[in-house]
Structure 1
């Protein structure tokens, strides 16, 4: 089988995990051909790492999204932001590239979600939602398909992770507080880059406006704990995932890529 071509948008820490998976042989069905990041040096560093680790390999860092799209990669892995996904996704799908994304928060916008769905169908491309730092999509989706289900999402974070948001003040360093209650659509509007997982859980269950979301800040807490509960009158599931760092999100992309080409899918 001919290798699938791969491009990366967003070349930070999570992209390095995918690059390492490529160079270590965990993604043998793919060849990385291009990298793009707002900071060109980061795109260049990922490309150089892959090229140096694989003699004869040619991965090209580019300075514009247009240059990356022109490569017509089979799959574009997006690990940048919901804003980045909104900027390029429709063009990529029309161009014949499928997408693996962590920035699921962009899909809380119902109109954008529908455009993505329609464009992918019309162009025989797909958008794969990586589970990020949660997981359990299969059981969440199964229970929701059974009908008449409800879902809730609870996140615990340390106050330092909220410093660049409107809810932060110094009292959070000493006082535990629920800083947001509402639904996933409201959460991603308040925290554009921090609650993609809440939107992911909502899309797998009851929808961004129908899932009950709460975010609690805990002094001294490191990492994130996510708790998801989905139920109907026949079944219920509780999923709890803790991540000390964001690394689990990068590895969820690796697993998604493996599932795309694997003869046995987990």
Structure 2
């Protein structure tokens, strides 16, 4: 069995379910030592850690002051850091337009902290200890470049901002051989509550490939970007969203 990531250490945020869990499995199967974060469900996280022989770490990404400590713990437990996958994100207030008086501004602030400021804090902390030739993969969304419907302005802003930071970080870290890329994920089958049939029909109509994806399909792309064959790709935005942005 090929192990292209043997000897590499990876950290995946939001790794206990959905795309995060698929990425944990894919990186571990490729030979990497993997740590992943979760917020609330210790039982689910510990079950995944046992299944994949990985390390589960509780971490609230919205509190950016915790980022250096998380990176330090990963290095202490696994001996270094080569790969960072910024996957953790939340969607608060989706479907509410910006002029809605019932909008939860506190929740929206937490969304910005989790989806944008949190990954930036981790990139900064990780870049100071990451071994040369490392890989940083940020998980964005097609909504960051094509909103497509009302009610997603704040979520779109967090993902668009992460795209800009990806490109800047790619320039900063290129002299060390560290690549920084972003995967614009799309509609996929996760453990989150699925949309009602009518909403799902509208969402699928926006896709060129009109089906819900399996998280493993996107995890395969992430694993490629984490590996040795992606060394000449940096600052890139890869659309893995069924043609939503086509």
> Which residue of the partner structure matches residue 13 of structure 1?
18
The normalised TM-score by structure 2 is 0.50
Shift of 1:15: 1.6
User: What is the distance in 1 between the residues matched to 2:164 and 2:128?
Assistant: 17
Secondary structure of the residue aligned to 1:102 is strand
Do structure 1's residue 242 and structure 2's residue 234 form an aligned pair? no
2:222 maps to which residue? 256
Partner of 1:35: 36
Q: Distance between the aligned counterparts of 1:108 and 1:78, measured in 2? A: 14
Report if the CA contact (8 A) 1:92-1:98 is conserved.
no
**TM-score (normalizing by structure 1):** 0.47
> Would you tell me which structure has more strand in proportion to its own residues?
1
The Cα shift of 1:75 comes to: 0.7
Establish whether residue 112 from structure 1 lines up as the match of residue 165 from structure 2: yes
- Report the aligned-residue RMSD: 3.8
* Greater fraction of residues in helix: 2
CA gap of 1:256–1:118, structure 2 versus 1, over 3 A, is same
Aligned to 1:77, which of 85, 109, 114?
85
- Per-residue deviation at 1:88? 2.2
Q: Aligned pair count?
A: 163
CA-CA distance at 1:29 after TM superposition: 2.9
Unmatched 5+ stretches in structure 1: 135-159, 164-172, 174-217, 228-239
How far off its partner does 1:132 sit? 2.1
Query: What is the match of residue 150 of structure 1?
Result: none
Q: CA deviation at 1:17?
A: 1.8
Structure 1 residue aligned with 2:147 = none
Report the structure number with the largest CA radius of gyration.
Answer: 1
Deviation at 1:90, TM superposition (A): 2.8
